[in-house]
Amino acid sequence: MKLFKDKFFRPDEEIEDLYGPPPDDIIEETDNTQKTDGPAPDDAEEDIPMGPVNEAEMAQMVYGPPSWFGEDKPHGFPVPPPPPRPDPYKKLLSCYNSVRAITDFKPKVALVLGSGLGDFAEKSVDIRCTVDYSQIEGFPISTVPGHKGRFIFGYIGECPVVVMQGRVHYYEGYSMQDVVLPTRLMHMLGAEVLFLTNASGGINASFSAGDFMLITDHISCFVPNPLIGQNIEQLGTRFPDMSKVYDPEINDIISDTAIELGIRIQKGVYLQLTGPSFESPAEIRMLRTFGADAVGMSTVIEAIAARHAGMRICGISCVANLACGMTDNPLTHEEVQASADKAAPKFRALVAGSIEKIAKIL
Ligand code: HPA
């Protein structure tokens, strides 16, 4: 103790020379801390209490008295009970009933529109009915500029579709259960296929801004799994297989459609991060070594929830920009949106053409 004090602190006299005598209340406090029950030993500094003496005392300092949460664990740390959670299946059923009160349309394909495809429905869908998200009680509503908020029911060619014009993202603060609720709802309404679209940052050095990437697989380990929590048995199994999330037969149809339309399409692995900040150059280098070809802030969790529920899935990513560090340009949402908008006519043709063909195998 003495050694410690000599080494790291100025002697008291030196401090008094510099700052004057300490105020009375500090002297009193110091006196109190040094009081001990027994006679003072030769070197009183040895007995200055250095902190809590055991785990239970430490726990009390951090968490308050043990009765706080009404439960004492043997190791001394009180553990709070898990907070009550709303039943996600009940919420799903109530959203389903809200939609069914407006329309009995039964879609075969569910299409989620990402950046750039915002006006897809007006241009490529024979619209029969629309349902604003605000008409569905408890439904999560997108706060992102450029993302609208409604379901559109109608036909692409002969194929009955439900189109999500505007999706919610985890970074908006919604729970994972809420973020995947629309996917589950569209399945409940009848959709067998989930067609996902998004804008992404290209990681693969052979990609260019404006390319399309057919998603062949995904990396989900940087976002919480949407199936965490009590399994919804009515939807699917506790441990769903993810070996072929992106349906090979449907992917072939999309590739063929791209060739027919003369649209170059890349293939690759899409990795979801939470966002909302874009990645750093070091993160992009790391993600490349992990095997990612494109990065974005959506899609993977929707694909997992859809696979859990037994849907067939496909996805196309519009590579709106090369990922951070691959060019000198800083990234902005406006630039991503503008680039996705520029690619929109081709994107629309590819998605609509593919869906018409997908309908034939359902
Ligand atoms: N990173 C993450 N998400 C994105 C990007 C990006 O570079 N571009 C479009 N969405």
- 187 noted as active-site residue: no
SS (H, E, C) the chain: CHHHHHHHCCCHHHHHHHHCCCCHHHHHHHHHHHCCCCCCCCCHHHHCCCCCCCHHHHHHHHHCCHHHHCCCCCCCCCCCCCCCCCCHHHHHHHHHHHHHCCCCCCCCEEEEECCCCCCHHHHHCEEEEEEEHHHCCCCCCCCCCCCCCEEEEEEECCEEEEEEECCCCHHHCCCHHHHHHHHHHHHHCCCCEEEEEEEEEECCCCCCCCCEEEEEEEECCCCCCCCCCCCCCCCCCCCCCCCCCECHHHHHHHHHHHHHHCCCEEEEEEEECCCCCCCCHHHHHHHHHCCCCEEECCCHHHHHHHHHCCCEEEEEEEEEEECCCCCCCCCCHHHHHHHHHHHHHHHHHHHHHHHHHHHHHC
Which residue's CA is the nearest one to ligand 1's atom 9?
Answer: 200
Q: pLDDT tens, 189-241?
A: 999 999 999 999 999 999 999 999 999 999 999 999 999 999 999 999 999 99
Where is average pLDDT lowest: 73-82, 87-96, 259-268, 274-283? 73-82
321 given a catalytic annotation? yes
> Among the options 298, 317, 339, 354, which is catalytic?
298
129 in Cβ contact with 153 (< 8 Å): yes
Between the CA of 48 and the centroid of ligand 1 the distance, in Å, is: 56
Q: Which one from 186, 209, 292, 297 is the annotated catalytic residue?
A: 297
- The pLDDT of residue 11 is 67
Question: Among residues 59, 110, 199, 258, which one is catalytic?
Answer: 199
Asked if 161 and 144 count as a contact pair (C-beta separation under 8 A), the reply is no
Known active-site residue 298: yes
What would the mean pLDDT of 244-258 be, rounded to a whole number? 98
pLDDT over 80 (residue 313): yes
Pocket of ligand 1 (CB under 6 A): 199-201, 278-279, 295-297, 320-321, 323, 331, 336
Active site residue: 59, 110, 115, 343, which one? Answer: 115
Q: How far is the CA of 157 from the centre of ligand 1 (A)?
A: 32
Active site residue 147: yes
Active site residue 115: yes
Q: Which of 67-76, 146-155, 278-287 tops mean pLDDT?
A: 278-287
Length of the chain: 362
- Output the pTM of the full model: 0.78
Catalytic residue list contains 333? yes
Q: Quote the mean pLDDT of the chain.
A: 86
Catalytic residue among 124, 169, 246, 311: 169
Tokens, residue 120: 């897809």
Distance from the alpha carbon of residue 322 to the mean position of ligand 1, in angstroms: 8
Nearest CA to ligand 1 atom 10: 200
282 noted as active-site residue: no
pLDDT of residue 335: 86
Mutational pocket test of ligand 1: of 270, 327, 331, the residue with most ligand atoms within 8 Å of the beta carbon: 331
Q: Which atom of ligand 1 is nearest to the CA of 279?
A: 1
What is the atom index within ligand 1 of the atom nearest the CA of 340? 9
Q: How confident is the model at residue 4 (pLDDT cuts 50, 70, 90)?
A: very low
Domain annotation for the chain: domains and CATH numbers: 54-83 (no CATH), 88-226+235-361 (3.40.50.1580)
- Which atom of ligand 1 is closest in space to residue 322's alpha carbon? 7
Which residue's CA is the closest to the ligand 1 atom numbered 5?
201
C-alpha of residue 323 to centroid of ligand 1, in Å: 7
